[in-house]
């Protein structure tokens, strides 16, 4: 069996979480525990009908289904909350929705979800107080959540440069990556990472990427391509190819926001791969400072997200069963 070079890839770090989301995880169980106890007593005292018990179980199952099984979706949780009849369960659903939205930095929507939770919430969330303030000040769970969300939103607004990139320069070069599933258009930060941008343009103009495939995906995270070996049928070689020359490290000052173009490199290497790149389907700030971001996705973000969530092979990690081909890479004039 032929031996191959080490794969060019991006090392995965633990995914960051919203501070508000962490708070929700920490404190929502106070409400859940008390709600469970209160519900049990009420059911025992009133000897509720089997139909009522089944209805409550159905509500909890609906919430569980909406918040489990991989990446939770705020819209799915919101739909579940609308259908839930038990006020306590509906409130918890809205709190989960707010946590997801804050993780996506959609603070206005998160505040609306908490407002709806306040309407749905039984006393345990909206009236009963706990020592949750910085100096042991007593406040309700929802008030604490609103305070935490407001503080996080303010901090994020004051530190946008840590999580968002500036606009592309005027007349920034653009490259169109055509695939059987649609096209992806990226603009290049020729001013902030000129070596990487010019290398990408050169390879696209030469047809280097034509026929290559996205050989590696991180579900919901990113897709990686640019390896000429991906044209062959040997999965062991995918990720190991590319020019012998590397692209020197550049400090572009850009971050791994959703929808960026960045350079892959071999583990431990300082310089970037001569051809391999990746496109982010969601924020990947754990890579900031280690990999060079040099472009921004202008069209095709939904396609990137779709490719990233492809079915994976069982014999090779992070490798799609069906690889999506770049049929043609074109520099847009």
**Where do the domains of the chain lie, and which CATH numbers do they carry?**
19-158 (no CATH), 167-332 (2.40.100.10)
Q: What is the pLDDT of residue 9?
A: 60
Burial 47-65 (b: 16+ CB within 10 A, else e): eeeeeeeeebeebeebbee
pTM of structure: 0.65
Max CA separation in the chain (angstroms): 78
**Rg of the chain on CA atoms, in Å:** 24
Q: What is the pLDDT of residue 3?
A: 46
Given phi > 0 = left and psi -120 to 50 = alpha, else beta, which region is 107?
alpha
pLDDT beneath 50: ranges in the chain? 1-4, 12-15, 27-38, 40-45, 47
Q: What is the pLDDT of residue 260?
A: 98
List helix spans (H) across the chain.
Answer: 19-46, 50-67, 74-83, 87-103, 107-120, 123-126, 141-158, 194-206, 301-308
* CA separation, residue 104 to residues 17, 188, 210, 261 (Å): 10, 25, 34, 20
What is the spatial distance between Cα 227 and Cα 211, in angstroms, rounded to a whole number? 10
Q: What is the pLDDT of residue 281?
A: 96
Which pair of structure tokens corresponds to residue 287?
């890579």
Q: What is the pLDDT of residue 276?
A: 97
Residues 296, 289, 206, 329: is their CA dihedral positive or negative?
A: negative
Q: What is the pLDDT of residue 26?
A: 52
């Amino acid at each position: 069996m032929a031996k191959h070079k080490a794969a060019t890839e991006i090392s995965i770090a633990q995914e960051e979480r919203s501070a508000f989301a962490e708070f929700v995880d920490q404190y929502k169980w106070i409400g859940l525990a008390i709600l469970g106890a209160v519900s049990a007593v009420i059911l025992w005292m009133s000897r509720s009908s089997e139909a009522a018990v089944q209805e409550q179980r159905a509500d909890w199952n609906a919430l569980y289904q909406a918040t489990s099984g991989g990446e939770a979706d705020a819209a799915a949780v919101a739909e579940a909350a609308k259908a839930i009849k038990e006020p306590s369960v509906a409130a918890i659903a809205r709190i989960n929705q707010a946590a997801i939205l804050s993780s996506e930095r959609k603070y206005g929507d998160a505040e609306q979800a908490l407002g709806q939770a306040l309407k749905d919430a039984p006393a345990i969330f909206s009236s009963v107080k706990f020592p949750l303030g910085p100096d042991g000040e007593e406040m309700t769970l929802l008030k604490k959540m609103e305070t935490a969300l407001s503080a996080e939103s303010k901090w994020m607004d004051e530190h946008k440069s840590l999580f968002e990139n500036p606009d592309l320069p005027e007349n920034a070069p653009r490259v169109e990556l055509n695939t059987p599933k649609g096209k992806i258009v990226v603009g290049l930060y020729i001013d902030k990472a000129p070596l990487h941008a010019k290398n990408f343009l050169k390879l696209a103009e030469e047809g280097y990427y034509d026929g290559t495939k996205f050989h590696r995906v991180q579900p919901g995270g990113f897709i990686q391509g640019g390896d000429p070996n991906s044209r062959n049928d040997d999965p062991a070689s995918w990720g190991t190819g590319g020019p012998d020359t590397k692209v020197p490290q550049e400090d572009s000052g850009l971050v791994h926001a959703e929808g960026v173009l960045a350079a892959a490199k071999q583990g431990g290497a300082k310089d970037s791969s001569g051809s391999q790149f990746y496109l982010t389907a969601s924020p990947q700030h754990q890579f900031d400072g280690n990999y060079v971001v040099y472009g921004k996705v202008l069209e095709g973000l939904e396609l990137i997200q779709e490719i990233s969530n492809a079915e994976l092979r069982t014999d090779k990690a992070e490798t799609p069963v069906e690889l999506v081909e770049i049929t043609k890479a074109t520099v847009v004039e």
